[in-house]
């Protein structure tokens, strides 16, 4: 089926449009997503999401080139997936901090000042490990390599520093 007919099916809100778009353009969209993600399973998920995005946007959009339009959607979804995966380490690090720290918007400025004061009390290595993990979201392995430590030693130091932070904040009336 040609692209004009597939677009007409989208405009008619005929679900056959998705099946025909998949038949005609799945390989191109998959190729784009795999090049970005380097992972076939994630790329296939992006391509499946591409059909939903196309369904939601056609109409009102009426692409001149359906292939280019669908590949652009797949590309954008793949880029978003790539960034989300890359930032996963950041969320894991923040989850570690949640044991000793709760974020309440009302106390954000006070908390910032307390964190800065706490960091000033730490020995240099602990401060650098803490900042590396929780500000820069470096992995434990990367920190271990950078500071010539074992990953276990880094994890242990970070755990002890989080405990010190929890006590420091509790003494100042802030509890997780």
- 11's CB contacts (< 8 A; 6+ apart) are 58, 59, 62
Domains detected in the chain: 3-86 (1.10.1740.10), 89-171 (1.10.10.10)
Q: What is the pLDDT of residue 86?
A: 63
Q: What is the pLDDT of residue 87?
A: 57
How would you class 70 by CB atoms within 10 Å of its CB: exposed for 0-12, middle for 13-18, buried for 19 or more? buried
Model confidence over 112-155: pLDDT tens digits? Answer: 788 889 999 999 999 999 988 877 678 899 899 999 999 999 99
pLDDT level of residue 92 (50, 70, 90 thresholds): low
Mean pLDDT of 58-70: 91
Supply 132's token pair.
Answer: 């590396």
- The C-alpha angle 20, 26, 32, rounded to 5 degrees, equals 145
Query: For residue 156, how far is the Cα from the chain centroid?
Result: 26
| pTM of the full structure | 0.53
């Amino acid at each position: 089926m040609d692209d004009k007919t597939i677009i007409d099916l989208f405009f008619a809100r005929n679900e056959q449009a998705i099946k025909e778009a998949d038949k005609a353009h799945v390989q191109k969209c998959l190729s784009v997503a795999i090049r970005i993600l380097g992972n076939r399973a994630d790329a296939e998920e992006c391509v499946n999401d591409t059909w939903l995005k196309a369904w939601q946007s056609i109409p009102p959009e009426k692409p001149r080139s359906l292939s280019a339009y669908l590949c652009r959607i797949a590309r954008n979804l793949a880029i978003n997936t790539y960034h989300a995966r890359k930032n996963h380490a950041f969320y894991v690090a923040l989850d570690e901090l949640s044991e000793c720290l709760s974020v309440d918007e009302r106390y954000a400025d006070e908390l910032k000042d307390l964190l800065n004061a706490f960091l000033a009390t730490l020995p240099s290595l602990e401060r650098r490990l803490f900042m590396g993990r929780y500000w820069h979201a470096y992995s434990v392995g990367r920190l271990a390599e950078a500071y010539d430590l074992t990953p276990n030693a880094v994890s242990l130091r970070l755990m002890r520093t989080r405990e010190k932070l929890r006590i420091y904040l509790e003494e100042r009336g802030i509890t997780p």
